[in-house]
Amino acid sequence: MMQAALGFATIALFLLLTMSGRVSVLVALVVLPVLAALAGGFAGELGEMVLDGLSKVAPTGIMIAFAVLYFSLMVDAGLFDPLIRGLLRLAEGDPLRITVATAVLTLCVALDGDGASTFLITVSALLPVYRRLGMSPLVLSGVVCLGAGVMNMVPWGGPTVRAMAALKLESSEVFTPVLPAMGLGIVWVLVAAWLIGRRERRRLGALTVPGPGTTEAVRTTAAAPGDGPGAVRVAEHRRLGLTVFNLLLTVVLVVALVLEVMPLPVLFVLGFAVALLVNHPTWEQQQALLDRHAKNVVLVTTMIFAAGVLTGVLTGTRMIDAMAEALVSVIPGSLGGHLPVLVAVTGMPLSLVFTPDAYYFGVLPVLAETAHGFGTDPAEVARAAILGQMTTGFPLSPLTASTFILVGMSGVQLGEHQRFVFRWAFATTLVMTAGALLTGALSL
């Protein structure tokens, strides 16, 4: 009980301090778990636990470092300029249309089921649009969060895979019955984007479409001032050739990511090296690009490694296990028959407390066994879990590395992001739970 209380207190204090802005997320992620481990009498094992946590997030940290560099290079090279100009034309300078377009793009990109790549692609493509129109980056991070959260339910996404593995179930038992509820969730995301965009439109007013240029970066392929028409044509041909190459390289990279041809960190390391060599062939150009984007890389990767400290301590001290047992033990017997709905409704807030592995491999089996004792099919509990926990919660949780990709690349604080999108994310869970009840995927 002491470990459970210490774990809950650590998470609660973390949320309180970061959401109130009293300390930085980085400091809270490192200092609070260390203090909790010392208070729990784990001083002798602290170093090993922290190293274990860091080693687990190291592949993610490496992937993000090179992925940020890769997509930053592509933004500088103008790869996303046609997409951005197209969005601006369709939106006609209207923040509401831009916000809805953000939701549509996210829903499409998130089909691969990987939150990290979804955030990298969508934020890289859309952040210049938001900056040029003066829109709040919280709108970008919030709408991307909602779209990616719902699409994370696909059978190859993290929550569904974990739920099926933990309870030894098939996709037809877990995912297929909740397809209508997922469709309702997609509709709700578009409605929420419209509502958020309407509020942003009122804040800014309708804006005129800016000129065709969409990035401030100076193209290395541009002709120098005073060059003749021939030099300009050569520069234009080179720029077109680079754009075609960058597009093909990015398509190949995304397909390789989806097919998992190699580990994700390896793919991004190789992709960035090739893109850097082709787009910036000289050492001076390469060094300039690294200097220009070093700040973004440091901001995102330090958060990921700091999150490794928190998860390493919570797992190594078994606070996570104790929290799971304590949570299940407080469920009254009278609610046993309604356990699936309870799991669905509480899943999203619990994503702020449990890592995905801890919830699906620690909490979910106990909940499923408890529900079975009340005559409820364990598959129903699995469906409830993917409707809530980590489906709309994963882009909010400080225990998930991809959350820091989203907030880091958007340039927003974690606490601000959580305050902005929590009610919208929780509403998504409620909408999909209602849809699951109406279609019979869940029962009261």
Three-state SS sequence of the chain:
CHHHHHHHHHHHHHHHHHHCCCCCHHHHHHHHHHHHHHHCCCHHHHHHHHHHHHHHHHHHHHHHHHHHHHHHHHHHCCCCHHHHHHHHHHHCCCHHHHHHHHHHHHHHHHHHCCHHHHHHHHHHHHHHHHHHHCCCHHHHHHHHHHHHHHHCCCCCCHHHHHHHHHHCCCHHHHCHHHHHHHHHHHHHHHHHHHHHHHHHHHHHCCCCCCCCCCCCCCCCCCCCCCCCHHHHHHHHHHHHHHHHHHHHHHHHHHHHHHHCCCCHHHHHHHHHHHHHHHHCCCHHHHHHHHHHHHHHHHHHHHHHHHHHHHHHHHHHCCHHHHHHHHHHHCCCHHHHHHHHHHHHHHHHHHCCCCCHHHHHHHHHHHHHHHHHHCCCCHHHHHHHHHHHCCCCCCCCCCCCHHHHHHHHHHCCCHHHHHHHHHHHHHHHHHHHHHHHHHHCCCCC
The tens-digit pLDDT sequence of the chain (444 residues) is 788 888 888 888 887 887 677 887 788 889 989 999 998 888 888 999 999 988 887 887 887 788 878 888 887 888 877 876 777 777 777 899 999 999 988 888 787 666 777 887 888 888 888 988 889 999 999 999 999 989 888 776 778 877 887 787 888 888 889 999 999 999 999 999 999 999 999 988 755 445 444 444 333 334 444 544 554 455 565 677 888 899 999 889 878 876 778 887 888 899 999 999 999 999 999 999 998 888 778 877 887 788 888 888 888 888 877 877 777 777 776 666 688 888 888 887 777 777 776 677 667 777 787 777 777 888 998 999 888 765 545 677 777 777 888 888 888 988 889 889 989 999 999 999 999 999 999 987
- Dist CA 237 CA 205 (whole Å): 39
Q: Which residue has the tokens 């969730």?
A: 185
- Dist CA 232 CA 239 (whole Å): 10
pTM here is 0.70
pLDDT for the residue 334: 66
Which residues, 6+ apart, have CB-to-CB distance to 367 below 8 Å?
Answer: 328, 339, 343, 381, 385
pLDDT for the residue 438: 94
pLDDT for the residue 197: 95
With CA atoms as reference, report the closest residue to 270 among 291, 282, 284, 256.
256
pLDDT for the residue 221: 38
Neighbours of 241 (CB within 10 A): 12
pLDDT for the residue 424: 92
- Dist CA 334 CA 374 (whole Å): 10
Q: What are phi and psi of 94, to 5 degrees?
A: -95, 115
Structure tokens given for 196: 């958020």
- Dist CA 194 CA 286 (whole Å): 41
How many residues can be counted in the chain? 444
Neighbours of 172 (CB within 10 A): 10
C-alpha to C-alpha distances, 8 to 319, 320, 326, 353, 364, nearest whole angstrom: 8, 9, 10, 7, 18
Q: Are 130 and 151 in contact (CB under 8 A)?
A: no
Q: Are 191 and 183 in contact (CB under 8 A)?
A: no
How many angstroms from the chain centroid is the CA of residue 141? Answer: 9
pLDDT for the residue 225: 47
Cα of first residue to Cα of last residue in the chain, in angstroms, is 31
pLDDT for the residue 245: 92
Q: Are 437 and 444 in contact (CB under 8 A)?
A: yes
- Dist CA 269 CA 70 (whole Å): 9
Q: What are phi and psi of 443, to 5 degrees?
A: -130, 150
Q: Which residues of 299-335 are buried (b: 16+ CB within 10 A; e: fewer)?
A: bbbbbbbbbbbbbbbbbbbbbbbbbbbebeeebeeee
The CA-CA-CA angle for residues 72, 73, 74, to 5°, reads 90
Q: What are phi and psi of 354, to 5 degrees?
A: -115, 145
